[in-house]
Amino acid sequence: MKDNAVTVEFIAIPENEKFARMVAAAFTAPFDPTVEEVTEIKTAVSEAVSNAVIHAYGASGKGLIRMELWSSEKGTVTIVVEDYGIGIEDITAARAPLFTTAAVEERSGMGFAIMESFMDKVVVESEKDKGTRVTLIKTLDLSCGL
């Protein structure tokens, strides 16, 4: 498998969470990942994209999400989900399990915890009123397909 890179940009609406999941699945398919690996990557991507949809653009709800996907020949997949919204003031607090700024009954505050449990590494970078960039990294077990 050669190194690969794909970038897609889409508007921040809930309908595009499914699109983003499908892009992640399609991008990783050539590595012949296990069902579990694909499910984990799709779920992590879903959480990152739904955060951008729900939290980034406030009441206007208008904005773009950029998704960059990279893979190395060794099977390491890097997925960047970026928005240009309100940003996160306190990243450490936001990443803590159960922390949410949304209505409690609406969301559970487990998005970042889910991303962390399903990926090898999660990097969150954010600047107030500039946007947020979540980097999800996972190395697939390439020995499975042999």
Residues in contact with ligand ADP by CB under 6 A are 47, 51-52, 55-56, 83, 85-86, 88, 94, 99-102, 107-112, 132
Return the residues of window 43-62 that contact Mg ion according to CB under 5 A: 51
Distances (CA, A) of 24 to 38, 57, 67: 8, 23, 9
Using CB under 5 A, pick the residue from 111, 119, 134, 135 that binds Mg ion. 111
Would you say 115 and 97 are in contact if contact means Cβ atoms under 8 Å apart?
no
Element (H, E) at 95: helix 91-95
Among Mg ion, ligand ADP, none, the one that 72 touches (CB under a kind-dependent 5 to 8 A) is none
Q: For this structure, is 16 an active site residue?
A: no
Residue 1 C-beta: closest distance to Mg ion, Å? 32
Q: Nearest 5°: phi and psi at 119?
A: -115, 160
Q: For this structure, is 51 an active site residue?
A: yes
Distances (CA, A) of 64 to 24, 59, 143: 18, 14, 37
Is residue 85 near Mg ion by the rule CB under 5 A?
no
Residue among 107, 125, 127, 133 flagged as catalytic: 107
Q: For this structure, is 47 an active site residue?
A: yes
The CB density around residue 38, as the number of other CB atoms within 10 Å, is 17
**Residues with a known catalytic role:** 47, 51, 107
